[in-house]
Chain A
Amino acid sequence: MPQHIKRLIIAFSLFLALFLVLRQVLRPESFGELGHFRAKAIPENAMRPMHYTVTDSCTKCHGGIRSEKDKGFHKNLKCEVCHGPGLKHATYAGQFKNGALPDSLKLYKPGERKDCIICHQLNAARIKIQFDTINTTMIHQIDPVKHNPGDPDTKEAFKCIDCHSPHQP
């Protein structure tokens, strides 16, 4: 075998040995077990904290409001749609007596006009399902400028919840 080929073979085998050593040292644990990624990243992703719960955990204490809500137009809405993420509240609020709940556990109480018009503002994209006989929109929509604009003197708009109960609109 010519001399230069021998040298090349030695050089390549050195490179290969170095590569294998480095690969062994630098490759993270569990890499390649399930594919070209760290298999442990899957349980790590599954361990992230939750913030939203399910409506059934609200019903344990607030069953009355739930049954009130289930009679009205909002029966398909989950509590957390309006009140925000409630896992923390559902887990810890039971320990406190009525009225002693710390602010960190209180849920958002929507009552302003902006909370309602987020769904109920008139919008061309919102008129969706037209039933066969009656021309009905899927949800009730209002023009917040014209719909009960409020006292002309104080320019203060009425709140939606002054007339409509949010749980049974």
Chain B
Amino acid sequence: MKKEKTKLSRRDFFSAGTALAGGVAITSVLAGYDGLLFAAVTPNAKGIWYGIGIDINKCIGCGKCANACKLENNVPQAPFYFRSWVEQYTIKNDGSIVVESPNGGIDGFKQSVPDKDIFKSFFVPKMCNHCAKSPCTQVCPVGATFETEEGIVLVDEKYCIGCRYCVQACPYGCRYIHPDKGTVDKCTLCFHRLKKGLKPACFEICPTKARIFGDLNDPGSEINYFLKNHNCMVIKPNLNTGSKLFYNALNPEVR
């Protein structure tokens, strides 16, 4: 059977080529509307780029950070709504793991496993990781949650439609729907305090200085000193969320 050859005239070739070039030109103009590209934005190379450090060795599980967060940010007192909370991980001698967080640790912890069964026990304070490639901002259908230039993930309360998509997308469980407002609420790293030159409430209140925060771009900052001097790790590094909450002495059991 004879192979049929496609006949392409010179005129057709040029018109197709021009159309292709025009298409590329229009797309590159539209790239200015970077709604599709914003998910791939690289970390801020200059200016402030906030990072958080938590020293699990120093945390005594008093829950003062969780309490301070609720009072500072008017989070509902009911025990299901938290922007920041503390969990107690207990690894038993038989290898099983018990995770407890009674009221987020606000009322204190009572050791439920007797001493003789415990292999290891530690507190893990949790809060928003302020990811650089945050899954929660990428799924928002209306653009009501976003990362600022400083690397803080914020929520636009007036624009949020309360669809709960971001609540499911956050791999760290750091978002909740505010029962009165009907919109999503999360840790803002006390953005209103940062702008006034103050520390976030939980960092201000921590009695053992287990919480450190600062500018990752500033080589002399407290957070960079902390990162240099400890073996720090983020939770769920395999998800590549670009988490900026670094834990010292983090056990791989922590999820």
- What residues make up the interface of A, taking CB atoms closer than 8 Å to B? 28, 31-32, 34-38, 41-42, 44-52, 54, 76-78, 80-81, 84-85, 114, 117-119, 121-126, 128-129, 138-139
Contact B73 A41 (CB under 8 A): no
Instruction: Please measure, in the bound complex, the distance between the C-alpha atom of A93 and the C-alpha atom of B157, giving whole angstroms.
Output: 33
Q: B192-217 toward A: CB 8 Å interface, digit per residue (1/0)?
A: 11011010010011011100000000
Task: Name the distance in Å between A28's Cβ and chain B's nearest Cβ.
Answer: 7
Instruction: Please measure, in the bound complex, the distance between the C-alpha atom of A28 and the C-alpha atom of B160, giving whole angstroms.
Output: 12
Instruction: Please measure, in the bound complex, the distance between the C-alpha atom of A45 and the C-alpha atom of B159, giving whole angstroms.
Output: 13
Please count the residue pairs between chain A and chain B whose beta carbons lie under 8 angstroms apart in the complex: 133
SS of B interface (majority):
loop
Cβ-closest chain B residue relative to A48: B192
Contacts of B177 in A (CB 8 A): none
Contact A125 B207 (CB under 8 A): no
Instruction: Please measure, in the bound complex, the distance between the C-alpha atom of A26 and the C-alpha atom of B16, giving whole angstroms.
Output: 37
Contact B205 A41 (CB under 8 A): no
Residues of B in contact with A, size category: 35 or more
Instruction: Please measure, in the bound complex, the distance between the C-alpha atom of A153 and the C-alpha atom of B154, giving whole angstroms.
Output: 56
- What residues make up the interface of B, taking CB atoms closer than 8 Å to A? 33-35, 38, 41, 57-58, 60-64, 68, 71-73, 88-90, 107-111, 113, 115, 118, 121-123, 143-149, 154-159, 188, 191-193, 195-196, 198, 201, 204-205, 207-209
Using known A-B contacts A80-B205, A128-B60, A138-B208, determine if residue A45 contacts B71 with beta carbons closer than 8 Å: no
